[in-house]
């Protein structure tokens, strides 16, 4: 009898994963929905950044990191890769960003991939997306609908002009991060602040065919870096979506909390220097030699780690 109860409980928890108001719902229709009173009492806002006075910064370094989507520890940021097979409460980071770009009622500011200082920007607003829209004249995030294509891409049951295929999550293989490590002498500790995020992936919608075509020509299909996003602009939308957890259904964290708490593994590939002469996009430490990527990342981490160690040892 105890085994039966245990099995039924597991099935119930599995089926109700990520659903709110499960214990207080009076009918199945109320599961996953919060009442107006619950929404009023539920304070769920992103953690406010504290003000940091420049006089309190004893030391700082701007760093660039790469999150590899092929590493198992980073899977919560990249899965599920099949967008159409999961509900609204189960999204990858790219699906959240993509929907934010195309479905937001506000104008979205994105920054050119080739300028790491966020000094080249363009406003992007696609409340009515069209296949011809391009970001930065480089990366197509929607697929052109060919004549005779009868695919219901938006799954609304009708094949019409609104059926636009967006770049799927399976095309995204990594993210570049720009952040600052700084020593705050007011609190006497080393802290990190995330500044920007940049998706990295393949622009070909038919990824399998593109890989076969590239291999037939003796080449390898390589991912490219997309646009930069100022992280403060996307914090609110990231805080509304929860990361998949296979340990506890009741204590899930948001994508914003995951990124700020650095619950992922990265490779450092660039750190600011006096000459500012390090290539940012086409660095060999990411694209060419995995061994160099690891050793270079460890070398850059030692620079930050040694400063903190020397601060307390002197």
Lowest mean pLDDT among 23-27, 117-121, 175-179, 181-185: 117-121
Closest Cα to residue 296, out of 284, 307, 305? 284
Q: How far apart are CA 193 and CA 195, in angstroms?
A: 6
pLDDT of residue 152: 72
Q: Which residues pair with 124 in a beta bridge?
A: 108
What is the share, in percent, of the chain residues with pLDDT greater than 90?
A: 17
Q: Which residues pair with 229 in a beta bridge?
A: 197
Q: Left if phi > 0, otherwise alpha if psi is -120 to 50, otherwise beta: which for 78?
A: alpha
Tell me if 45 is assigned to some domain.
no
> Which has more confidence, 245 or 47?
47
pLDDT confidence tier of residue 265, bands split at 50, 70 and 90: very high
Tell me if 39 is assigned to some domain.
no
Give the number of domains in the chain.
2
pTM of the model: 0.78
Tell me if 64 is assigned to some domain.
yes
Q: Could you give phi then psi for residue 14, rounded to 5 degrees?
A: -65, -45
Please say whether the beta carbons of 257 and 239 come within 8 A: yes
Average pLDDT on 258-283 reads 76
pLDDT reading at 125 higher than 50: no
* 223 lies in the same domain as 88: yes
* 189 lies in the same domain as 92: yes
Q: How far apart are CA 263 and CA 265, in angstroms?
A: 7
pLDDT reading at 135 higher than 90: no
The C-alpha angle 282, 169, 225, rounded to 5 degrees, equals 15
* 21 lies in the same domain as 100: no
Tell me if 40 is assigned to some domain.
no
CB atoms within 10 A of CB 263: 14
Q: pLDDT by residue (tens digit) across 179-233?
A: 999 999 888 889 999 999 999 988 877 788 888 888 788 787 888 888 888 999 8
* 94 lies in the same domain as 163: yes
> Which has more confidence, 253 or 155?
253
* 7 lies in the same domain as 97: no
Tell me if 46 is assigned to some domain.
no
With a CB cutoff of 8 Å and minimum separation 6, the contacts of 32 are 19, 20, 21, 22, 89
* 213 lies in the same domain as 151: yes
Domain that holds residue 10: 1-34
Peptide bond into 269 cis (omega under 30): no
Average pLDDT on 74-94 reads 84
pLDDT reading at 259 higher than 90: yes
* 107 lies in the same domain as 187: yes
Average pLDDT of the chain?
75
* 59 lies in the same domain as 197: yes
* 190 lies in the same domain as 79: yes
pLDDT of residue 192: 93
Tell me if 287 is assigned to some domain.
yes
* 14 lies in the same domain as 111: no
pLDDT of residue 50: 85
pLDDT of residue 175: 94
Polymer length of the chain:
314
Q: Which helix (H) or strand (E) holds 297?
A: helix 290-313
Tell me if 16 is assigned to some domain.
yes
> Which has more confidence, 204 or 74?
74
Tell me if 48 is assigned to some domain.
no
Average pLDDT on 19-39 reads 69
pLDDT reading at 1 higher than 50: no
Q: How far apart are CA 67 and CA 97, in angstroms?
A: 16
Q: How far apart are CA 220 and CA 293, in angstroms?
A: 19
* 193 lies in the same domain as 305: yes
* 26 lies in the same domain as 64: no
pLDDT of residue 225: 83
């Amino acid at each position: 009898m105890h085994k039966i109860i245990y099995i039924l409980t597991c099935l119930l928890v599995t089926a109700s994963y990520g659903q709110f108001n499960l214990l207080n719902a009076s009918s199945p229709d109320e599961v996953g929905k919060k009442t107006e009173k619950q929404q009023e009492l539920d304070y769920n806002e992103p953690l406010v950044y504290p003000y940091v006075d420049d006089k309190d910064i004893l030391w700082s370094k701007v760093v660039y990191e790469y999150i590899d989507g092929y590493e198992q520890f980073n899977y919560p940021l990249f899965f599920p890769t099949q967008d159409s097979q999961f509900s609204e409460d189960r999204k990858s980071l790219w699906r959240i960003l993509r929907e934010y770009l195309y479905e937001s009622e506000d104008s979205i500011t994105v920054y050119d991939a080739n300028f790491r200082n966020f000094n080249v920007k363009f406003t992007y607003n696609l409340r009515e997306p069209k296949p011809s829209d391009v970001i930065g004249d480089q990366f197509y995030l929607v697929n052109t609908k060919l004549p005779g294509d009868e695919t219901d891409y938006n799954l609304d049951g009708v094949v019409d002009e609104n059926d636009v295929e967006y770049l799927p999550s399976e095309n995204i293989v990594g993210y570049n991060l720009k952040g600052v490590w700084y020593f705050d002498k007011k609190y006497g500790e080393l802290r990190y602040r995330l500044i920007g995020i940049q998706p990295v992936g393949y622009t070909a919608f038919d990824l399998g065919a593109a890989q076969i075509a590239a291999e037939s020509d003796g080449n390898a299909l390589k991912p490219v870096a997309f646009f930069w996003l100022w992280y403060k602009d996307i914090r609110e939308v990231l805080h509304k979506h929860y990361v998949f957890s296979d340990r506890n259904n009741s204590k899930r964290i948001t994508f914003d909390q995951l990124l700020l708490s650095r619950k992922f593994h990265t490779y450092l590939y660039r750190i600011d220097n006096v000459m500012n002469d390090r290539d940012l996009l086409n660095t060999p430490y990411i694209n060419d030699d995995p061994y160099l990527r690891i050793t270079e990342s460890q070398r850059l981490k030692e620079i930050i780690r040694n400063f903190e160690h020397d601060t307390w040892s002197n």
